[in-house]
Amino acid sequence: MLTFAEEILLLTLDDKKGDFRPLHEQAMRTALAGALLMDLAMADRIDTDLQHLFVINTDPVGDPLLDETLGRLRAVQDRQNAAYWLNEIAWQTENLRPRVLQRLVDRGVLKVEDRKILWVFAQRRYPLIDDREVKEVRARLRELIFNKEIPDAREAVLIGLVHACGMIDTLFEEHELPQVMPRVMEVARLDLIGREVDRAIRDIFMAMTSYNVHTIAE
């Protein structure tokens, strides 16, 4: 089974071009940090309440990236909230996105393809080797939204991440969005960490908008 971080990165892939949708670096880092925290929560290593995120089991998961994240959480004595840890993990985890991307290559989901444009400019693409994983993720999440049943924790978490990243249009056609968005919002609100990811990414985009408006005014 893919991790949340791997699934989120895979959903940003343009299947036909073998390239990734443009997403602001800070937003992408925040989403991947949230995904790591959610994987730890699903592995019963951390828990959250309305004020804090805290470690409940210090045993290694057996996944290098998750165990590195768990070690960082353990190293801080005072309890911090989810927003603190999203920022800490997003910016203190070295090569976060490249490491998640390499995992997809190592799993045989993607392959690396280097080529030259006009024989000069280097371009790296990541075509899917087998589109089964990305199709399975998309089908699973579409079914969750349309069937109106109570979601399991994993699906609710993933919907929250996809919504926070502004990637709902990777799952649904434009004409479906008015119908599905109330249900998407309902599911996304079920997870505390997901809500913090959503808030953090919205703050990032609001800051970017404010900066752009200020720059144009000058």
Residue 60 has pLDDT above 90, yes or no: yes
Average pLDDT, the chain: 79
Quick one: pLDDT band at residue 217, thresholds 50, 70, 90?
very low
Structural tokens at position 106: 């190592």
Total domain count, the chain = 1
DSSP designation for 151: P
- Please report, for the domain that includes residue 91, its CATH number: 1.10.3630.10
Please name the residues in contact with 191: beta carbons below 8 A apart, sequence gap of 6 or more.
38, 153, 156, 157, 160
Q: Report the predicted TM-score, pTM, of the whole model to 2 decimal places.
A: 0.78
Quick one: pLDDT band at residue 215, thresholds 50, 70, 90?
very low
Q: Using one digit for the tens of pLDDT, what is the confidence trace for 126-169?
A: 455 566 777 788 888 888 898 877 778 788 888 888 887 778 88
Closest to 156 (Cα-Cα) out of 185, 123, 119, 122 = 185
Q: Using one digit for the tens of pLDDT, what is the confidence trace for 90-107?
A: 888 889 988 998 898 888
Closest to 12 (Cα-Cα) out of 124, 89, 126 = 126
Based on the number of CB atoms within 10 Å of its own CB, is 192 exposed (0-12), middle (13-18) or buried (19 or more)? middle
The pair phi, psi for residue 110, each rounded to 5°, is -120, 160
Q: Using one digit for the tens of pLDDT, what is the confidence trace for 192-214?
A: 677 777 777 777 656 544 434 34
Contact of 36 with 5, CB cutoff 8 Å: yes
Based on the number of CB atoms within 10 Å of its own CB, is 143 exposed (0-12), middle (13-18) or buried (19 or more)? exposed
Residue 216 has pLDDT above 50, yes or no: no
Residues spanned by the domain of 58: 4-217
Based on the number of CB atoms within 10 Å of its own CB, is 24 exposed (0-12), middle (13-18) or buried (19 or more)? middle
